[in-house]
Amino acid sequence: MLDFPRWKIASIIGVLLIGILLAVPSLMPESTAKQIGLGGMPRINMGLDLAGGSQILLEADTADVAKTRVSNMVDKVRDVMRDSTPAIAIGDISTANGALSFFVRDPTRVDAAVEQIRTLTSPVGSTGTRDWDVQVVDSTRIVMTPTKGGISQFVDNAMEGATDIVRKRIDALGTKEPTIIRQGTDRILVQVPGLADPQQLKALIGKTAKLEFKLVDVSADPAKVAAGQAPIGDQILRYAPGQPQAGTPVAVHRRAIITGTDLASAKQDYDQNGQAVVNISFKSQGARSFAQVTQQNVGKPFAIILDNQVLSAPRIDEPILGGTASISGSFTPQSAQDLAIALQSGALPIALKTVEERTVGPGLGQDSIHAGIIASAIAVALVVAFMFLTYGRFGVYANMAVIINVFVILGAMALLNATLTLPGIAGFVLTIGTAVDANVLINERIREERRRGRGVVQSVELGYKEASRTIFEANVTHAIAAAIMLVLGSGPIKGFAVVLLLGIATSVFTAVTFTRMMVALWLRRHRPQAIHI
Amino acid sequence: MRLLKLVPDNTNIGFVKLRHWAFGITLLLSIGALVLCGVRGLNLGVDFVGGLMVEAQFPGKAPMDDLRNRIDDLHLGEVALQQFGQASTVQIRLPMPHSNDEGATNALVGKVEKTMRAAYPGVRFNRVDTVSGKVSGELIQKGVLAVFLAIFGIALFGIFRFEWQFGVATFVSILHDVLMTLGFFALTRLQFDLNIVAAVLTIIGYSINDKIVIDDRIRENLRKYRQMPLGELIDLSVNETLPRTVMTSLTIILALASLLLFGGHVLRGFTAAMILGVIVGTYSSIYVSSSLLITLGLEKSRIRQMAEASEKKKTGREQAERMAPRP
């Protein structure tokens, strides 16, 4: 018991000192830390519930994916059939029941058609399945169904892209230190500290921003268009809400002249009437084909379409050769700015919607930090006083351990770049309460052994030895509960679990190893015949 | 200086003798808690039922009736108002708008905030939470799963580490602790949200901690006093660890009480749950889980084990005799 070699003492104190030093930068404002040259040291992050800010959980609309894939495939099938030599005549394309089906006019070409369709599909992973299931029904009809594997692969890729695009859009807003992480298969978690009003953010990241220019079919029968019937090769789209002709149907050619992927840049600007517009310019390839189409269609209108809604349908007065265009559509400067950011960052490959949103005002966060600090200080004071009154000198050692422990937990949190949340502060207070439990166990055991008439050194030795086993078992069970919270809990609760787990680990060290060293040093120096405990 | 001793030396309370009373009261309280949960139900927060929650803080006491009238005038559907944590704070719960449009929830929150800002200058909006039905469903699932995993995981640990009776006794008393906490929330109608699930898990962790300490002492004494009747041995163990149990519970309650009084209104429900849990957990450790060992037949398995051990010794000796060369 009394045998404590110097290297052991040095390493215990060393470990604790490192822990405390790591905590230092987190205890001062970031600017102060930078001033005194500690800017590079790890810090504890403040959770949104303390720092104030917004958290938005976005979920991909996966139900829509299969449908979109089927309707996007239609044009590709037409193209590949037309382009094969000789062309394969097909008819009666339908996209009912989540599958694409068409029939091949010449029964002898069915095999050739299937072969061509094959080139449109690709393998999924290494399992041998493909992203489309192709079958021949009634000998001349080909049915294509998107497979589950194909859809999930698509969602996976789309989410990867969507996360990037969301990041670009938020960065463009210039907000401070946003966190954007993908969660699970189809979710993105966005956290923006300090943002009190998430309306603009939501409007911006929720926008798919799929931009298309399509020619208006002027030959379409207005009566049929009004009834929602599109001529072959056309589709009916409506004017976007907020436009003068909101809701009016327009027949446009399915094939787009140019899309958002051809964009080189998008900027908010004002037109000659002082109305907010978005000026766009195309990449050279897109500019060329846009010039070509406008040359051939002078006098005809084309529709500017955003997310399948028509913004405007200006007439082509002269060929547009410069590769630039201006989008107008009853914008405010703000909404034009948002659209420019959205277009610049690219279209979301998959529609996202908000499933959870939490905003904490900066005032509440400040109040919580303030209250948390006061509560922790009072808790420490009460526990310290109580321990001292109960165990005297041994209580003082336990108290030193508890106070050091608070700093070591903070240091460990900084090292792990962990986030401190409001429940995390509660975790601190609770840890202060439970950390002394180890010392209570030890000290009560020493009291017991003394009562049984054992000598001072032997009692202390037995106290530590017998209590250590119990402390270990009690902490393991406690850690099980905390680990479950860490795995299954969300946001603030994770923060609570982190503090609990770290507290369990560090408190064993401070409450057992550190106090044992203190007691041993004292016993060695004074060799007391009796102890006051 | 005379040191504080909460439990006098050589305290010997006959807890085991009281066990039938304790079991009866525990059972009644547990049934009562279950009935309360069934009849009154829990006041689930938006975390678990979905919807919109706006928390507003007024400079003084919140004008509940006036506020209720003003918000009712907006005709937003089923609106619920509730004071939260302190008199100046109100939580306004709104149903999710039916529209799929992204802007609809924003518009709804905007409408409420605008009305309130106009009517009460100085009002501050602390929090706005929007949770869709899908997410709230998942949060319930995860919460229930977490609580069950914790109870089973720790009971399993008890079984592996000790005899099975210890695992079962712990399991039963933890279940009681959780039920009491739920009953408390049903009775007080305090809001039950995600944070409370964390509190329940912590209560489980703490309560087990308490029981492990006593179980550990029982095991130690089982080895030490082989001839002592089990009832007496359990009483001895509980009494020996009583100073520690009381001391630890008190320090934790001291720490939690400062959190309850000074930690701000957001954590009030969380801390209240935890304080109750510590009290209930300490009760069940002392009165229920250790005495339950007798009911579960630890005595018999102890006798059997001892018999087996001596049997082993005997057969070992016989075998040795057989192996030995005959004279």
Assign residue B95 the CATH number of its domain. 3.30.70.3400
Tell which of B5, B148, B173, B202 to mutate to test the A interface (max A CBs under 10 Å). B202
CATH number at residue B32: 1.20.1640.10
Could you tell me the CA-to-CA distances from B184 to B25, B141, B199, B285 in Å, in that order?
16, 21, 13, 19
For residue B327, pLDDT beyond 50: no
Which pLDDT value is given to residue A400?
94
For the segment B275-299, the average pLDDT, to the nearest whole number, is 89
Q: Does B94 touch chain A (CB under 8 A)?
A: no
User: Which residues of chain A have a CB within 8 Å of the CB of B153?
Assistant: 480, 484
The number of distinct structural domains making up chain B is: 2
Judging contacts by C-beta atoms under 8 Å, the chain B residues touching residue A423 are: 195, 198, 267, 270
**Buried-state track A127-150, b at ≥16 Cβ within 10 A, e below 16:** eeebbbbbeeeeebebbbbbbebb
SS3 of residue A125 by DSSP: coil
**Quick check: is B212 in a domain?**
yes
Specify whether B174 is located in the same domain as B283.
yes
Please tell me if residue A33 touches chain B, with a CB cutoff of 8 Å: no
Q: What is the CATH class of A207-359?
A: alpha beta
pLDDT 10s digit of each residue in chain A, 533 long? 667 888 888 988 998 999 888 888 888 877 787 887 777 788 888 888 888 888 899 998 887 778 878 888 888 888 888 888 788 888 888 888 888 899 888 888 888 888 888 888 888 877 778 888 888 988 889 999 888 888 888 888 889 888 988 888 888 877 767 889 898 888 999 988 877 777 778 878 878 888 899 999 888 888 888 888 888 888 899 998 878 888 889 999 988 888 888 888 888 889 888 888 899 998 888 888 889 888 998 889 999 998 888 988 888 888 888 888 888 877 888 888 888 888 888 888 888 888 888 888 888 888 888 998 899 899 999 999 999 999 999 999 999 999 999 899 999 999 988 888 888 888 888 888 888 899 999 999 999 899 888 999 999 999 999 898 888 888 888 888 888 888 887 767 788 888 889 999 998 889 899 999 999 999 988 888 888 77
* pLDDT, tens only, B284-294: 999 998 888 88
Decide if pLDDT at B301 tops 70: no
Cross-chain CB nearest to A356 (options B132, B212, B253):
B132
* Greatest alpha-carbon span in chain A: 110
Question: For the residues of A265-322, what is the DSSP string, one character each?
Answer: EEEEEE-TTS-EEEEEEE-HHHHHHHHHHHHHTTTSBEEEEETTEEEE--B--S---S
- Say what the pLDDT of residue B284 is: 92
Q: Do B135 and A355 touch (CB under 8 A)?
A: yes
CATH top class, domain A63-150:
alpha beta
What's the pLDDT at A480? 85
Residues B191 and B278 placed together within one structural domain of the fold: yes
Q: What local confidence, expressed as pLDDT, does residue A517 receive?
A: 92
Q: Using the beta-carbon criterion (under 8 Å), do A444 and B244 form an inter-chain contact? A: yes
Q: Between chain A and chain B, how many beta carbons pairs sit less than 8 Å apart?
A: 230
CB atoms within 10 A of CB A490: 19
pLDDT at B32: 94
**Separation between Cα atoms, residue A215 and residue A153, nearest integer Å:** 33
Do B93 and B29 belong together in one domain? Answer: no
Residue B53: strand pairing partners: B93, B129
Q: What is the pLDDT of residues B188-221, one digit of tens each?
A: 988 898 888 888 888 888 888 888 889 889 988 9
How confident is the prediction for chain B on average, in pLDDT? 85
DSSP A248: -
Residues from chain B contacting residue A386 (CB–CB below 8 Å):
4, 250-251, 254
Last residue of a domain, one of B80, B102, B131: B131
Interface test with A, best of B266, B274, B279, B289 (most A CBs within 10 A): B266
Residues 457-496 of A with CB under 8 A from B: 466, 469-470, 473-478, 480-482, 484-485, 488-490, 492-493, 496
Domain check: are B186 and B291 in the same one?
yes
Residue extents of the structural domains in chain A: 6-52+361-526, 63-150, 207-359
Cβ atoms within 10 Å, residue A368 = 25
**pLDDT confidence of residue B31:** 94
Mean pLDDT of B300-318: 63
Q: Please indicate, yes or no, if residue B316 is contained in any of the structural domains.
A: no
| pLDDT band with cut points at 50, 70 and 90 for residue B265 | confident
Spatial CB neighbours of B157, under 8 Å, sequence gap ≥ 6: A476, A477, A480, B167
Q: What is the DSSP code (8-state) at residue B127?
A: E
- Using only C-alpha atoms, what is the Rg of chain B? 27
pLDDT band at B326 (very low <50, low <70, confident <90, very high): very low
Q: Clarify whether residues B173 and B201 are in a common domain.
A: yes
- Co-location of B182 and B289 in the same domain: yes
The whole-number pLDDT of residue B309 equals: 64
Which helix (H) or strand (E) element contains residue A355? Answer: strand A352-360
Chain B CB within 8 Å of residue A433 CB: yes
In a domain, B10, yes or no: no
Q: What is the pLDDT of residue A391?
A: 92
Chain A: closest CA distance from residue B277 (Å): 13
- Which residue, B106, B131, B156, sits at the end of a domain? B131
Contact assignment for A480 to B157 by CB distance below 8 Å: yes
Task: Determine the pLDDT at residue A381.
Answer: 93
Q: Is the predicted ipTM greater than 0.90, yes or no?
A: no
Q: Which of A357, A369, A391, A487 has the highest number of chain B CBs within 10 A, making it the mutation to test binding with B?
A: A357
Query: What integer pLDDT is reported at residue B313 of this predicted model?
Result: 60
CB-based contact A482 B128, cutoff 8 Å: no
Q: pTM to 2 decimals? A: 0.79
Least confident of A17-21, B94-98, B310-314: B310-314
Q: Which of A193, A194, A192, A184 is nearest to A166 (CA)?
A: A192
Q: What is the DSSP secondary structure assignment for residue B289, as one 8-state letter?
A: I
Domain boundary among B75, B109, B131: B131
Contact A59, A355 (CB under 8 A): yes
The 10 Å CB-count burial string (b at 16+, else e) for A42-59 is ebbbbbbbbbbbbbbbbb
Residues B93 and B165 in one domain: no
Position B2 in a domain:
no
Q: How, if at all, do strands A100-104 and A258-259 pair?
A: unpaired
Check residue B100 and give its pLDDT. Answer: 59
Domain-embedded: residue B3:
no
Which range marks the domain in which residue B119 is found?
51-131
DSSP-derived secondary structure letter, A4:
-
Same domain as B298, residue B151: yes
Query: Is residue B67 over pLDDT 70?
Result: yes
Quick check: B305 pLDDT over 90?
Answer: no
Is residue B323 included in any domain, yes or no? no
Fold of A6-52+361-526: Multidrug efflux transporter AcrB transmembrane fold (1.20.1640)
**In a domain? residue B296:** yes
Q: Report how far apart, in Å, the C-alpha atoms of A147 and of each of A65, A69, A131, A152 are.
A: 12, 11, 5, 9
